[in-house]
A = this chain, B = another copy of it.
Amino acid sequence: MCRFTLYLGPPIRLSALVVEPKHSIIQQSFHSTGQDEPVNGDGFGIAWYVPELSPEPALFRSVTPAWNSSNLSELARVVQSHLILAHVRAATKHGGQSEANCHPFRSGPFAFMHNGDIGDFARLRRPLLTSLGDPAFDSIAGNTDSEHLFALVLDELQRTPGSGVEHLAAALQQAVARVTLLGKLHGNGAPSYLNLALTDGHSAVACRFTTEDDYDGESLFVHTGRVYVCSNGVCRMLAPERGRGCVLISSEPLSDDPGWDALPRNSMVLVTPEGTTSSRPLLV
């Protein structure tokens, strides 16, 4: 599948997500745990917000394996941001990698990433496209199930006026519901695995979801605290205090410190701009 990490909190250096932790995203590109296949070598991507310059996140994507990218190592040294998304890809189909198929995906201020896949996507693709409004339809540049899922999210964001974390949560919930319905109508019974992360540059939401019975789906962990610090190759979350905190949402724990909580099956977590989290079931 894939692996992703989202950070929201006080500005942090990209290296604290991508390089320094024992199970950093670069490590996960090579040696992920809890997957049948430990390699996520089919490209990677990073999105980070620089609010003083632009509401749109900066995007850096490459078909190179993350462990091999000098440019990623360089950016990790000098990029700092309060809101970062990082993704390493294990392509469902091999061959034909392109930057357009790498996560995160972006549209305006929104950034999105996915770990998992849509069951029977080849059967669902055409009715899914038909269901989209023109702006969401036009946003698709590649041919991954993940980008089509993001188009559903954008479609929901555009249909319903609003903003803030509840607006994001509603769009994510509806996108998952639409995929599930499309699967029932047009699919052949293959389950979907939809671990998703979505942000507008201020708030963020993420979910762990599967339509497979008797399986909890791909793993997803949440870790909250005051600040995430790395020193001499050991990273840990400092205990929370009152006021502004930080949140890490990650396919697997980046570090061995306690406090990484597995998100339950078919639930979502909402993160406010202040770094406050709450979770709820994701029912479709």
Q: Which residues of A contact B (CB under 8 A)?
A: 13, 30, 39, 41-42, 48, 50, 53-54, 56, 58-65, 67-71, 73-75, 77-78, 80, 91, 94-101, 122, 125-126, 129, 134, 137-138, 140-143
Name A101's closest neighbour in chain B (CB-CB).
B98
Using Cβ atoms and an 8 Å threshold, which residues of chain B touch A60? 71, 74-75
| Cβ contacts under 8 Å, A39 to chain B | 30, 39, 41
Whether A143 pairs with B68 at a CB distance below 8 angstroms is no
State whether A58 and B42 are in contact (beta carbons under 8 Å apart), knowing that A68-B95, A141-B96 are contacts in the complex. no
Picked from B70, B77, B137, the residue with its CB within 8 Å of the CB of A96 is B70
Partner of A97, one of B30, B68, B80: B68
Given A78-B50, A134-B126, is A99 in contact with B98 using a C-beta cutoff of 8 Å? yes
Protomer copies: 4
Give every chain B residue within 8 A of A48 (Cβ-Cβ): 78
* Nearest CB of chain B from residue A234's CB, rounded to whole Å: 20
A194 to B: closest C-beta gap in Å = 23
Query: Would A91 and B68 count as touching, CB distance under 8 A?
Result: yes
Residues of chain B within 8 A (CB-CB) of A58 are: 74-75, 77-78
What is the minimal beta-carbon distance from A32 to any residue of chain B, in angstroms?
12
Q: Across the interface, which residues of B come within 8 angstroms of A129, CB to CB?
A: 129
- In the complex, the answer to whether A78 meets B65 with C-beta atoms within 8 Å is no
Q: Write out the residue numbers on chain B whose beta carbons fall within 8 Å of the beta carbon of A99.
A: 70-71, 96, 98
Identify which of B30, B69, B77 contacts A95 (C-beta below 8 A): B69
A37, B77: Cα distance in complex, Å: 27
Chain B's nearest CB lies how many Å from the CB of A52? 9
Most B CB within 10 A of own CB, among A61, A64, A74, A138: A74
